Structure 1
Amino acid sequence: MTSTIPTAQPLPEAAPPASPAPSAGPSRLRHSRPDLLLCGGLLTAILLVQGWNITGFPALSDDEGTYLAQAWSVQEGRGLAHYTYWYDHPPLGWLQMALVTWLPAAVSPGLMAVAPMRCAMLLVSAASAVLLYVLARRLGLRPWAAGLAMGLFGLSPLSVVLQREIFLDNIAVMWVLLAFCLAASPRRHLWHHFGAGLAAAVAVLTKETMLVVLPALLVTMWQHSHRATRKFAVTGAVTACGLTGLTYPLFALLNHELVPGPGHVSLWDGITYQMSRPGSGFLLDEGSGAHAALRSWLYYDRVLPLGGLAAAVLLVAAWRWSAAARPPAGPALAVLLLTAMALRPSGYLPAMYVIQALPFLALALAGSVHALSHVVRGEEGSGGRTRRRRVVVGSGVTAAVALAGVLVVPHWYDANRTALTTDANAPYRAAHAWMSDRTHVPDPARTRVLTDDALWLDLVHAGYRPGTGAIWFYKADLDPAVARTLPRGWRDVDYVVASPTVRRDAATLPLVRAALEHSRAVVSFGEGEDRVEIRRIDRRDRDTP
C-alpha cells in the first residue's frame, strides 16, 4: 500500500514499462509492511472492542428487527419483506444483509435473530475501517494520521454503539467509502472512476440519504483525476451512478407500482411518506427531537462530532495551503453537507443519522492534525528563527495533544466499558424464553401475539405463524392485509409483548392501544421504562361485544 500526496499541478503521465521488474512485487510488499502492520493492529483492536458483548449492548431496536426480518423473508423466498413491501427504503440494503446472514442461518436457523446476527455487522465494520485507512493514505495522510482516522472511527464510543447495530446506514457507509477510495485512486484509471460511480449508486440504493455526500465524492474525483481525462472520468462516474440508480424506479415500473393506484403500493407513495414525515425540529432547540438525538450522540462522545465538525470547517477554509499540506477537502465537505441537512428545522433526524458522518468526521479530524504537523515542521524554512518557532509551536501542539488525551481517554474508557459489560437485552431474552415455553403457551401456532420486530423473528422460530400469529404491532393498525385477519380487532389478539417501543407508539395506534388497555400483565422482565411485559388479553373483555 503506497501513499500518493495530492499536488497543485497534475502529475505527468508515465509510459508503462516494457516488462515489470522482477522485484516489483516484493518491493511493494516491503514498502507496504508498515501500513499493513498498523492497519492490522488497529483492526484487531476495533473488532475486539466492537465484538465484545455485542449481543448485550445496546438494547435491541425495532429498526434492527425490521431489517433482519426483511432479510429473512428474502432468504425464505417470501418476497422483499415479511409484510407488504411498500417502498419505504430501497431493498438493496437487506438483500445484502440476506447474503451476509445466509451462512449462519443455514447452519442454525435459530440464530436468525437480532442479537446473534449483530455479529455479522463486524464484517461490515472491518471492511469500513480498512477502507477508511486506505482512503486516508490516498488522500495524502501519513501512516500515523491514517491510523489516527481509523482509530477515531472504530474506537469512539459513538461508533462502538452504533456500528454494532443492524442498520442500513452501516452498510451504506462501507459502499460510500469504497466509492471515495476508487475516486482517489493513484492510478487515475477511468474504470476506477466508473467503479466509484457504481459504488456510490449501491450506497444510495442501500440508504437513500447517502445522496447528500455525492457532491463531496465528485470533488474528490475532480481533485484526483488527470486533467486530460477528467471530463471523461466525471461523466463516466455520473453515468454509472445514474443508470444504476434508475434500476429502482424501473423495478417499480415493471411491477406496476411506480405511481399510486387502487389495490397496490407505489414508489411515489413511499417517497411522499418519507418527505412528509413530521420534522424533528431545529437541532439547537432544546425541546426538539433533533436536539434529543444530538444529546444522545454527545453523551457517548463529544470529541468526534464536535472536533470533527470544527476540523471540517478549518480544512475547507484553509484548502489553499501549500501542496504538501493540502488537506482532504472531499471528506470535510461531506461533513458540512451532512451537518447542513441535520440543521433543517423541517427535516426528520433519526438517531442513526450520525453513522453516515462518522468516517468523514474522523478523516477531517485526522486531516487537520496532519496539516498542522506540516506547519509545525516548517519545511519551507531552515533558519534559526524558523527552528525556534518550530520548537515553540511544536511544544504547544504536544501539550495540547497531551491535554486532549487526558480529557478524552477516561471518558472513552468509561463509555466503552459500559458497552463491553452492560447486558441491556436480558429482558428480551427472558420474554422470548417465556413465550417459547409450552407450559405458558401450549399451542403457538394458534396464538396471536402483538410484538415489535426486535422479537418477531424469535417468535417465528418458536412456532408462531409469521405475519398472522406473530404480528408486528404496527401492521395490526396500518396494513389492511393484516387487519382482515383480525375482524374483531384487539379481541382476536391473545398476547401483547409490551416492549418500550410498543408502549411508546401505541398512542397513535388504536388497535394496539385498546389491546394494552384490555390486557393484564402476566409477567414483567426488567425495570422502569426499559421493562418488557407479557400481557394477556382478558377473556371476559374479549368475549364482550
Structure 2
Amino acid sequence: MTSTLPAATGAQVPAQRRPVPEAGSTGRTTPPGPPPGRFRSLRPDLLLCGAILVAILVVQGWNIADYPTLSDDEGTYLAQAWAVQHGRGLAHYTYWYDHPPLGWIQIALLTWIPSAISPGAMTVGTMRVAMLLVSAVSAVLVHVLARRLALPRWAAGLAMVLFGLSPLAVVLQREIFLDNIAVMWTLLAFTLAASPSRHLWHHFGAGLAAAAGVLTKETMLVVLPALFVTMWRHSHRDTRKFALTGAVTACALIGLSYPLFALLKGELFPGSGHVSLWEGLTYQMTRPGSGFILDAGSGSWGVLHSWLYYDRVLPLGGLAGALLLLVTWRWSVTARALAGPALTVAILAAVALRPNGYLPAMYVIGALPFLALVLAGGAASVTHLVLRRWRAEGERRILTGGRYALATVLALAAGACVVPRWYDGDRTAVTADANAPYRAASAWLGSEVEHPEDTRVLVDDALWLDLVHAGYRPGLGAVWFYKADLDPAVTKTMPRGWQDVDYVVASPTVRRDARDLPNVRNAIRHSTPVATFGTGADRIEIRRIQPQTAGGTR
C-alpha cells in the first residue's frame, strides 16, 4: 500500500541502498503514473464497500425519526442551525461559547435544501435524515483507512460492518450530534495522514481536516497526538519535517480562528454585559462531574452501562485489542500499522477514566471508528496466525486444510455470539417507536391552543422548533426552559417569573432539571396537567399554569 519517492533525475541508486520491497509485495517496480487497469484492481474494494454501505444506510435510515428518543442536545443543535439559516445569529438565544459554532453551521448546510422546500420539516425527527450522509462518508473513510493501514480487504469490510451496524453505532449515529460530524473530519485527517502517496499536500490537508474536527467538537483535540503518530509513520523521512510542520501549522492557524473571532467581537475575556469565550471554557472545564466510570451508582457508570446495553463486543473488544496492540507494537507488524487507532482508543479511554470527569452519552462516538479498526485488525492478525503455512512441503496440505477448518470454526463461533445480540438491537432500532409522545404533544400544542402567537410555553429544545412552526413566537412564546432562569435577555421579559408563563411541557428532561431552575420548578408546581402522552418516566405532560396564581394569557 505504500510507495517510495523516485530517485532524482539522472541519479543512480547503489545496490546496497535500493529500497527494500514492503512485506507481501512482489518486489517488482512500477512505472511512473497510474498503472493500467487500476480501476479493475480496485473493483473488488468498491463492490465490497458499496454493498456494506447500502446495508448500513438501510439499517440506519429505516425508522430513523422514531428511534431513539429525541434528545435535548439534538434540539439545541438543530435550533441553532435554524437560527443560522434565518440570519438570527449563531444561536436561537444568546450565543455563549458553549461549543465552537462550526458544528451547527454544517448542520445548517446539510438541512438547508430540505428546510427550504418544506420549512415545517425542520424538526429533530425529520432532519435526522441529514445524518445519513455523515454516516455514509464516515463508513467509506473507515474502509479506505483500513486499507491504507495494510488490513486485508475482508478485514476492511469487517471494520466497516463493526462501525456502521453495531447497535450502539446505529443508535448514536442516527442522532444529530456534533460528535458524528467531528468524527467524519477526524477520519478524513487520519486517511490523508496515512496516504501511500506521501505527498505534502496530503499532510497539510490532514492538518486542516483535524482543525475542522476540533472546531466541530472540541473533544477531538485529545486525539491529535494519535494523528501525529500516524502522520509520522506514513511520512517519508526526507520530507517528514516539512510534512509535520505544515500539518501542525495548518491545524493551529485554523484552530486559532475561534479565539480570534471572540477577540474581534470583544468577547474573548469576561466583562460587564457580555458573554465570553473564557467563561464558556471555564464552564466546560469545571462543570459538575458525573463520577468515576467504575464507581457503581455514579452517573458515568450509568452512561457506561447504557453503551454496553446496546453492544459489548465493539467497546470492550476494541479496548482490549487496542491495549494489546500498544503492548506488542515492537514485535507485531499489525500493531505498528494500527498504532494510531490503538493510541486514539487508549487516549479516549484514559480521559473517560478521570476520577470525577463529566461523561456525556455521546462521548463514545469519537471512539467508534477506531474501536472498529482495532477489532478488525485483531481479527486479521488471528486469522493470519491460524492460516500461516509451514515450510514442510509434505505437511503443507494437511496443515493448511486443518487451519482453514479452525479459522472457519472460530468465525462461526464469533458470529454465533455476536449476530443474535446485534440482530435484536438493530431490530429494535428499525421497529420501535420511542417518539410517539413527542409527536402527540406537538400536535396538541399546534391544534388545541387558540392563540399560539400570544401564548408563552416553557419547552425543551427537542420540541422548540415544532412550536415555532406552529406559530409560537421564537424566544418569547416558545421558550427553551433553561432560559427562563439562566438567560437575562429572557428573564427581563418575565418580570413576575413563572406567573408570566401559560404552559409548561414537562418532558423527562424538563422534570429532571427543574430542581435547579426556580422558575421552571414553580411553573410545574403551580400547574395542572391538561394532556398527558405516554406513561411512566417517559411521559410528556402539558401543564397549564393555574389561572388564580398566574398572569393569564397575554
Report the TM-score range of the alignment, normalised by the length of the smaller protein: over 0.9
Between the aligned partners of 2:322 and 2:82, the Cα distance in structure 1 is 40
> Secondary structure in 2 aligned to 1:257?
coil
Q: Name the residue aligned to 2:501.
A: 493
Q: Name the residue aligned to 1:459.
A: 467
The one of 516, 540, 545 aligned to 1:532: 540
> Secondary structure in 2 aligned to 1:539?
coil
Q: Name the residue aligned to 1:197.
A: 207
Q: Name the residue aligned to 1:378.
A: 388
Conservation of the 8 A alpha-carbon contact between 1:456 and 1:472: yes
Q: Name the residue aligned to 1:44.
A: 54
Conservation of the 8 A alpha-carbon contact between 2:328 and 2:335: no
Q: Name the residue aligned to 1:137.
A: 147
Q: Name the residue aligned to 1:230.
A: 240
CA deviations 1:241-280 (Å, max 9, x no partner) are 0010000000000000000000000000000000001111
Residue 54 of structure 1: how far off its partner (Å): 0.1
The one of 133, 151, 162 aligned to 1:123: 133
Between the aligned partners of 1:467 and 1:37, the Cα distance in structure 2 is 50
The one of 367, 373, 382 aligned to 1:363: 373
Between the aligned partners of 2:275 and 2:335, the Cα distance in structure 1 is 53
Structure 1 pair 426–322 and aligned structure 2 pair: CA distance change class (3 A): closer
Amino acid at match of 2:450: P
Between the aligned partners of 2:355 and 2:256, the Cα distance in structure 1 is 30
Conservation of the 8 A alpha-carbon contact between 2:389 and 2:396: no
CA deviations 1:417-457 (Å, max 9, x no partner) are 111000100000000100000xx211111000000000000
Conservation of the 8 A alpha-carbon contact between 1:312 and 1:335: yes
Conservation of the 8 A alpha-carbon contact between 2:189 and 2:205: yes
> Secondary structure in 2 aligned to 1:79?
coil
Matches within 5 A, 1:130-529: 130-321=140-331, 323=333, 326-378=336-388, 381-382=391-392, 395-437=405-447, 440-529=448-537
> Secondary structure in 2 aligned to 1:521?
strand
Decide which moves more: 383-392 or 54-63. 383-392
Residue 313 of structure 1: how far off its partner (Å): 1.1
Between the aligned partners of 1:426 and 1:472, the Cα distance in structure 2 is 21
Amino acid at match of 1:482: V
Normalised to the residue count of structure 2, the TM-score between the two structures is 0.93
Amino acid at match of 2:344: A
Structure 1 pair 163–130 and aligned structure 2 pair: CA distance change class (3 A): same
Between the aligned partners of 2:292 and 2:395, the Cα distance in structure 1 is 49
Structure 1 pair 543–219 and aligned structure 2 pair: CA distance change class (3 A): closer
Conservation of the 8 A alpha-carbon contact between 1:315 and 1:327: no
Conservation of the 8 A alpha-carbon contact between 2:103 and 2:181: yes
Structure 1 pair 82–228 and aligned structure 2 pair: CA distance change class (3 A): same
Conservation of the 8 A alpha-carbon contact between 2:60 and 2:132: yes
Structure 1 pair 409–14 and aligned structure 2 pair: CA distance change class (3 A): farther
Normalised to the residue count of structure 1, the TM-score between the two structures is 0.94
Between the aligned partners of 1:395 and 1:123, the Cα distance in structure 2 is 40
Identical-pair percentage: 70
Residue 11 of structure 1: how far off its partner (Å): 3.4
Between the aligned partners of 2:391 and 2:496, the Cα distance in structure 1 is 84
The one of 117, 121, 124 aligned to 1:111: 121
Decide which moves more: 309-318 or 109-118. 309-318
Q: Name the residue aligned to 1:91.
A: 101
Residue 392 of structure 1: how far off its partner (Å): 5.7
> Secondary structure in 1 aligned to 2:531?
strand
Residue 378 of structure 1: how far off its partner (Å): 2.6
Structure 1 pair 293–112 and aligned structure 2 pair: CA distance change class (3 A): same
Structure 1 pair 389–417 and aligned structure 2 pair: CA distance change class (3 A): same
Q: Name the residue aligned to 2:12.
A: none
Amino acid at match of 2:6: E
Residue 372 of structure 1: how far off its partner (Å): 2.3
Residue 484 of structure 1: how far off its partner (Å): 0.4
Residue 459 of structure 1: how far off its partner (Å): 0.2
Residue 374 of structure 1: how far off its partner (Å): 2.6
Residue 224 of structure 1: how far off its partner (Å): 0.5
Residue 376 of structure 1: how far off its partner (Å): 2.6
Structure 1 pair 14–520 and aligned structure 2 pair: CA distance change class (3 A): farther
Decide which moves more: 146-155 or 275-284. 275-284
Between the aligned partners of 2:454 and 2:431, the Cα distance in structure 1 is 39
Between the aligned partners of 1:339 and 1:21, the Cα distance in structure 2 is 45
> Secondary structure in 2 aligned to 1:541?
coil
Residue 181 of structure 1: how far off its partner (Å): 0.5
> Secondary structure in 2 aligned to 1:273?
helix
Conservation of the 8 A alpha-carbon contact between 2:501 and 2:551: no
Between the aligned partners of 1:458 and 1:163, the Cα distance in structure 2 is 22
Conservation of the 8 A alpha-carbon contact between 1:522 and 1:535: yes
Amino acid at match of 1:483: T
Between the aligned partners of 1:206 and 1:322, the Cα distance in structure 2 is 35
CA deviations 1:96-154 (Å, max 9, x no partner) are 11000000010010011100000000000000000110000111011100000000000
Between the aligned partners of 1:374 and 1:402, the Cα distance in structure 2 is 17
Q: Which runs of 5+ in 1 are unaligned?
A: none
> Secondary structure in 2 aligned to 1:85?
coil
Between the aligned partners of 2:143 and 2:87, the Cα distance in structure 1 is 38
Residue 396 of structure 1: how far off its partner (Å): 4.2
Between the aligned partners of 1:453 and 1:286, the Cα distance in structure 2 is 31
Q: Name the residue aligned to 2:21.
A: none
> Secondary structure in 2 aligned to 1:291?
helix
Residue 320 of structure 1: how far off its partner (Å): 2.5
Structure 1 pair 356–380 and aligned structure 2 pair: CA distance change class (3 A): farther
Amino acid at match of 2:454: R
Between the aligned partners of 1:229 and 1:435, the Cα distance in structure 2 is 63
RMSD: 2.1
Amino acid at match of 1:220: T
Q: How many corresponding residue pairs? A: 533
Between the aligned partners of 1:98 and 1:120, the Cα distance in structure 2 is 10
Amino acid at match of 1:186: P
Residue 75 of structure 1: how far off its partner (Å): 0.3
Conservation of the 8 A alpha-carbon contact between 1:327 and 1:371: no
